[in-house]
Each structure stands twice: as C-alpha cells, then as structure tokens.
Amino acid sequence: MIERALPGAEVEVIDETGGGDHLRATVRAPQFAGRTRIEQHRLVKNAVQARFDDGSIHALSIKCATPGKPSR
C-alpha cells in the first residue's frame, strides 16, 4: 500500500505485538527529499489511511529516511 503510494519506496513493516494491528514501518522513499519529517509522515499516513478507517490498523509507528542517507 505504501509502495503503491510512493513509487520507488523501500518499506519494511514490523508487527510489534503479533496482533497485526500495531505496526512499525520503516520507509525509505525518494519522495521524502526536501520535506520535513511531518510531511514525510503525512505521506505515509495518508497512504494507509483506509486501513485506519476500517479499523484493521490501530497504531502505526513510522520511521522515514531518504535513500542514500542514513535512517534517522
């Protein structure tokens, strides 16, 4: 879902609790370059909003990075 919204993104999603609804996503996307963290997070959140709306995700912790830069 995230990859579809952000073509070229590398996405890793970890299920933190094993329940499938508390997730941690690490996203490395070229679209993040030049954007503030809050803008990067908005891009990811908007990409998965439907899953929040239908209740299948309860919490998503996000870490964003731009390719070529260390994850921060």
> Where along the sequence are the contacts to other proteins (CB under 8 A)?
37-38, 41-42, 61-63, 72
Q: Looking at beta carbons only, is 6 or 27 nearer to other proteins?
A: 27
Closest separation in Å from C-beta 3 to other proteins = 20
Token pair belonging to 26: 């690490």
Q: What is the CA radius of gyration of the chain?
A: 12
HSE (side-chain half, CA atoms, 13 Å) at 33: 7
Take residue 27 and report the two structure tokens written for it. 């996203």
Q: How far is the CB of 54 from other proteins (least distance, A)?
A: 16
CB of 18 to other proteins, least distance (A): 19
